[in-house]
Amino acid sequence: MSDQVVEADIVIIGSGAGGGEAAKLLSKHFNVVIVEEGPHRTSNDFKMKESIAYPELYQDSGARLTVDGAIKILQGKSVGGSTTVNWTSSFRTPQETLLHWNKEFGIHTLTQDSLLSHFLRIEDEYGITPWDGEPNLNNQLMANGMSKLGIRHGVIPRNVKGCLNLGYCGMGCPTNAKQSTLINAIPRALENGAKLFSQFRVERLIWKNDKIVEAIAYSVTPTGKIEENKKTLTLKAQHFLLCGGGINTPILLMKSDLPDPYFNIGNRTFLHPVTVSLALFNQKVEAYQGAPQSVYSDQFLWPEDDSLGFKIEAPPIHPALTSSLINQHGSEASEMMKRFSHSQGMIALGRDGFHEQAPGGKIVMTSNGRFGLDYPWNDYLTNGYKKALLTMASIQFEAGARSVYPLHRFARSFERLGEVKSFLDSCSVDRYDLQIVSAHVMGGAAMGSDEKNSVVDNDGRFHHMSNLFIFDGSLFPTSLGVNPTESILSFSSLLTHKLIERIK
């Protein structure tokens, strides 16, 4: 293919949760072009191998970090975006979150009432129902410990149809059971006549007065490098939808020098930062098999005191990802990996963005001229995560764990809860010490009614352009407190219907 100029009614940048769903709906009425920087991979390419999946299906080949290197960030990059690799946990947006957004940011379009029909349609089309199979042992052990301690927990709804319970959702579902936008929304959009350009990254939006006039994209390799003999795609349209996901969407706005009189672009980027507790059991747990997350607890999500709220889940544990997190070396690391199939894992996801001491991060330009996420850390966050680690250890011991290893640079495997507590009481608070990871990047182009503290208005329209809309997870003004995909699909559905009314 040589350089090309493509014209459409609407150009959609990014094919993940927000972009995919918008493409499906808009393509019924308009001439739509979707441009996606990642490759178009399908179930035939998904081999249940981390070494194959991470380089092509993840941003920065799975090695994305905050600018200080302290937090590991997992984010998708292929057709279907992060939905191609996510773990299928599906929740509606909590009422507490929507009320907070209304009160603090004047958001009146996204309410429980206005969203209801969209949640219902999305749940129907994406097969979202509480998981009715047996939980895998990883989740069952967590549920056992919670039951013994009287901790409320429930079954996670999943977006699957005919799931074979393999447990490799994070490497792309090889059976097409997972209802990602890759297999649900994008094929519908293509049937409706939409055109998809994969392996093209939009590098700049060109604007004049209050309008985007074109988007310039360059061809990239499957792992995301601009090709040596790059091809240029010039995309012209009446309207542009930016759905690149958190971090990527604000970076494109910044690279395009879009007006930002109040310096809001890239601010308020949230991660649901995750801390991990690994436990060793006598029996084999094989936490890499079976539906990855099927049990959760929200008992600690909305605490009555001022502390950080967190949600608890039991993630899939695969060797490459785990070894990159445990931060052990030599014989200790090798011992841990030998006992890998006996390991049980729990995660606590912090609800950032609701408290002044949990303000999230911001996109900055680093000294090498690249943009990245700066996510400052403080004692409030550390104390929240210490509490989460102790809570998870108590659940794991109650479930019969032989030892528990809270992920912290100086931790070891502890055989008693008291030892975990003593360690956490005395351990350092440096942000590099807690091995924090995130798979939920949100915010950076916050919605709000006041342009002084937001980037898009109640319709998802960029405040300073009449034809630029943002319908992805970057429009959240805080994190959610639940896994974000169902919210992004539903917000995109609601905002797309409003857009259709506006321009039809």
Ligand X SMILES: Cc1cc2nc3c(=O)[nH]c(=O)nc-3n(C[C@H](O)[C@H](O)[C@H](O)COP(=O)(O)OP(=O)(O)OC[C@H]3O[C@@H](n4cnc5c(N)ncnc54)[C@H](O)[C@@H]3O)c2cc1C
Name the residues that contact ligand SF4, by CB under 6 A: 88, 160, 163-169, 173, 175, 177-178, 291
Rule CB under 6 A: say whether 38 interacts with ligand X: yes
Question: Position of tokens 């799931």?
Answer: 163
Using CB positions, name the residue nearest to ligand X.
Answer: 16
Least Å distance, CB 115 to ligand X, is 15
Q: In the complex with ligand SF4, which residue's Cβ is closer, 58 or 471?
A: 58
Task: Answer yes or no: are the C-beta atoms of 63 and 56 closer than 8 Å.
Answer: no
Query: For the residues of 261-302, what is the DSSP string, one character each?
Result: TT--TT-SEE---EEEEEEE-SS---TTSS-S--EEE-TTTS
Q: Which residues contact 419 (CB under 8 A, 6 or more apart)?
A: none
Q: In the complex with ligand X, which residue's Cβ is closer, 161 or 339?
A: 161
Query: Residue 14's binding partner, choosing from ligand SF4, ligand X, none, with beta-carbon cut-off 5 to 8 A by kind?
Result: ligand X
Binding residue for ligand X (CB under 6 A) from 138, 179, 248, 467?
248
Rule CB under 6 A: say whether 484 interacts with ligand X: yes
Least Å distance, CB 334 to ligand X, is 26
Piece in contact with ligand X (CB under 6 A), picked from 82-90, 102-110, 182-190, 423-431: 82-90
Helices 50-57 and 319-326, interaxial angle, to 10°?
80
| Alpha-carbon span 488 to 311, nearest angstrom | 19
Query: Residue 35's binding partner, choosing from ligand SF4, ligand X, none, with beta-carbon cut-off 5 to 8 A by kind?
Result: ligand X
CA dihedral 96→315→84→116, nearest 10 degrees, is -20
Which amino acid, residue 370? R
Helix, strand or coil, per DSSP, at residue 451: coil
Rule CB under 6 A: say whether 56 interacts with ligand X: no
Binding residue for ligand X (CB under 6 A) from 146, 420, 488, 494?
488
From the list 489, 452, 445, the residue with the least C-alpha distance to 469 is: 445
Structure tokens at 41: 């991979």
| Count of residues that interact with ligand X, criterion CB under 6 A | 41
Rule CB under 6 A: say whether 201 interacts with ligand X: yes
Rule CB under 6 A: say whether 219 interacts with ligand X: no
Q: Which residues contact 415 (CB under 8 A, 6 or more apart)?
A: 402, 403
From the list 272, 247, 403, the residue with the least C-alpha distance to 349 is: 272
Structure tokens at 195: 């055109």
Least Å distance, CB 169 to ligand SF4, is 3
Binding residue for ligand X (CB under 6 A) from 27, 75, 219, 322?
75
Q: In the complex with ligand SF4, which residue's Cβ is closer, 170 or 250?
A: 170
Question: Position of tokens 């200080």?
Answer: 68
Binding residue for ligand X (CB under 6 A) from 444, 473, 477, 481?
473
For residue 103, the tally of other CB atoms under 10 A from its CB is 9
Task: Answer yes or no: are the C-beta atoms of 36 and 191 closer than 8 Å.
Answer: no
Piece in contact with ligand X (CB under 6 A), picked from 34-42, 60-68, 142-150, 186-194: 34-42
From the list 350, 397, 399, the residue with the least C-alpha distance to 378 is: 350
Least Å distance, CB 355 to ligand SF4, is 34
**Residue numbers at the binding site for ligand X (CB under 6 A):** 13-19, 35-38, 74-77, 81-83, 85-90, 170, 201-202, 243-245, 248, 252, 293, 439-440, 472-473, 483-485, 488
